Amino acid sequence: MTDVFTLPDVGEGLTEAEIVSWKVQTGDTVTVNQVLVEIETAKSLVELPSPQAGTIGALLVQEGQTVEVGTPIVRFGGTGGADDAPAAASGAGGQAGADAAAPAGGTAEEPDDAGGATLVGYGDRGGSGSRRRARRAPAAGSSAPAGQTTGVPADTTTATPAATSGAAPASAPPATPAGSPAAESGPVLASPGRPLAKPPVRKLAKDHGVDLARVPATGSRGEVTREDLLAYLDGAGGGGQAGAVAGSGPVAASSATAGTGQPERREERVPVKGVRKATAQAMVTSAFTAPHVTEFLEVDVTGTMDLVRHLKATGLLGEDVRVSPLLIAARAVCWAVRRNPMINATYADDAITIKHYVNLGIAAATPRGLLVPNIKDADRLDLAGLARELGQLIGQAREGKTPPSAQQGGTITITNVGVFGVDSGTPILNPGEAAILAFGQIRKKPWVVDDQIVPREVCQLAVSADHRVVDGETISKFLADVGAAMENPAVML
């Protein structure tokens, strides 16, 4: 059995995954099927069980890194021996030299079609590639037919050995089979006809407004690879940050860019993916389907703060329970929802569905980005229960371990912008919900009480709501109720 565990394709045709968190450490003894690591694919969070019993020799990929299927991620056996490490970083293999030296079967050796596309049914490219390769001549290295079901018979007859070597060092300019439009030159700058590239690469180029004919092609048939395009984009975007994108490390490209004398890091291009992408889509959906209206209210929350201080001092809710103003706000929202049920609803399919339960979402800035996990049936919990759930939710979010199930089925949301030291905002609704409360910072301000100006603890509340579902009256009543409860939590009793 192999001593290296390579990243498997856990879906059908997934090409890459992010290492979210390691569940073991170097030196740990593990059993068969013990969970080693949690990864995030384009489809889901997945735990990978150990394929063998033994000792963890080394974790070859860091948390947060996105690597391709087939990349070694764990080495079993004794510690030491760092030779596996480079393979993890090189990923796509834009720099062919390093890849050619990568040990152990299973690394994806084709440089051309990696990354991005998630095509159901395309199968485990890395796995099948390695098995097939054993029978193939490494010297001939005609890698294309090995991995491709579409392998055209003509490949073997026209391509001379070494000509199309996917694993060949970069020193050999990628030649192309005779008869191909790009056959004459080595690194093709512009093919006579339409530049060659696979559809996902074309799409990416189109998305970035790049004319593929301008991108230096290094593919085995003279085609522009994803890495070529990313390297080109890096260059166009100001160089310097090569390697930040998809771990492709196009060193040559960035140094070439440096030669053009462009100032460094004037702009930075960050690929939109994962949680950022999901957030972007959700916000666009929400902003352009639900007409938002936002109302504001400034509230004296000294009563809330007194309660928080009292609960903290007495430990009434339990020793290990964290008490915060957010807890009282959460409670206040549940209470106000009960008095204004329409605020806790969904507009869809020409009907308004009123939820007689509160799955209370808390917008959380996590290491993975903005997530909105929710507390199920928050309205049925007592204060201690709510505090516990809130603590767990925040803890999970902070550790980046929020499960997908916690992010579904929310009915109303609180965004605690106050923790960032601001007063208020006009939040965008979590899609499918009718209201979101922005909870501003709490600070002492002069406040009029019984015609006297006294220092009180004050904060701003804002509610954005879906005007298709509720009108000003309901929104105002809801906001006023939340405010009243924050001002005097006793009203909730």
Partner 1 sequence: MASPTHVGGGVNVDDLPHVDQPMIQMLTPEGKRVPGGEYERFAEDLDDEMLRLMYRDMTLSRRVDAEGTALQRQGQLGLWVPLLGQEAAQIGLGRATRPQDFIFPSYREHGLALTRGVPPETLLGIFRGVSHSGWDPQAHNLHPYAIVIGAQTLHAVGYAMGVQLDGDIATGDQDRDTATIACFGDGATSQGEVSEALTFAGTYNAPVLFFLQNNQWAISEPTTVQTKAPLHTRGVGFGVPGVRVDGNDVIATYAVARAGLDSIRAGNGPLLLEAYTYRMGAHTTADDPTKYRSDAETENWRAKDPIRRLRRYLLESEMADQEFFDGVDAEADELAAGLRKACVEMPDPDPQEMFSHVYSHEHALVSEESAWHAQYEASFAEAEAR
Q: Provide the minimum distance between the beta carbon of 49 and partner 1 in the complex, in angstroms, as a whole number.
A: 5
* 41 Cβ neighbours under 8 A, 6+ residues apart: 10, 11, 14, 16, 17, 18
Is residue 9 within 8 A of residue 125, CB to CB? The reply is yes
The residue among 327 and 412 lying less far from partner 1, judged by its C-beta, is 412
Q: Is 33 in the site for partner 1 (CB under 8 A)?
A: yes
Q: Is 140 in the site for partner 1 (CB under 8 A)?
A: yes
DSSP 201-242: HHHHHHHTT--GGGSPB-STTSPBPHHHHHHHHHHHTTSS-T
Chain centroid to CA 107: 24
On the 0-12 / 13-18 / 19+ scale of CB atoms within 10 A, 411 is buried
The residue among 17 and 212 lying less far from partner 1, judged by its C-beta, is 17
Q: Is 366 in the site for partner 1 (CB under 8 A)?
A: no
Q: Is 356 in the site for partner 1 (CB under 8 A)?
A: no
Of 208, 292, 356, 467, the active-site residue reads 467
Among 27, 29, 31, 49, binds partner 1 (CB under 8 A): 49
Instruction: State the Cα–Cα distance between residues 11 and 356, nearest whole angstrom.
Output: 37
- Phi, psi at 437, each rounded to 5°: -105, 125
Q: Is 78 in the site for partner 1 (CB under 8 A)?
A: no
Q: Is 439 in the site for partner 1 (CB under 8 A)?
A: no
Q: Is 50 in the site for partner 1 (CB under 8 A)?
A: yes
The residue among 136 and 312 lying less far from partner 1, judged by its C-beta, is 136
Per-residue binder mask for partner 1 (CB under 8 A), 100-139, x = binder? --------------------x--xx-xxx--x---xxx-x
Q: Provide the minimum distance between the beta carbon of 44 and partner 1 in the complex, in angstroms, as a whole number.
A: 3
Is residue 322 within 8 A of residue 316, CB to CB? The reply is no
- Count interface residues toward partner 1 (CB under 8 A): 41
For CA atoms 332, 337, 340, 345, the dihedral sign is positive
Q: Is 490 in the site for partner 1 (CB under 8 A)?
A: no
Q: Is 281 in the site for partner 1 (CB under 8 A)?
A: no
Which residue bears the tokens 């499960």? 403
Cα-Cα-Cα-Cα torsion 86, 91, 92, 96, nearest 10 degrees, comes to 0
Catalytic status, residue 467: yes
The residue among 8 and 489 lying less far from partner 1, judged by its C-beta, is 8
List, by residue number, the catalytic residues.
467
Interacting residues with partner 1 (CB under 8 A): 1, 5-12, 32-33, 43-51, 120, 123-124, 126-128, 131, 135-137, 139-140, 153, 156, 161, 376, 403-405, 408-409
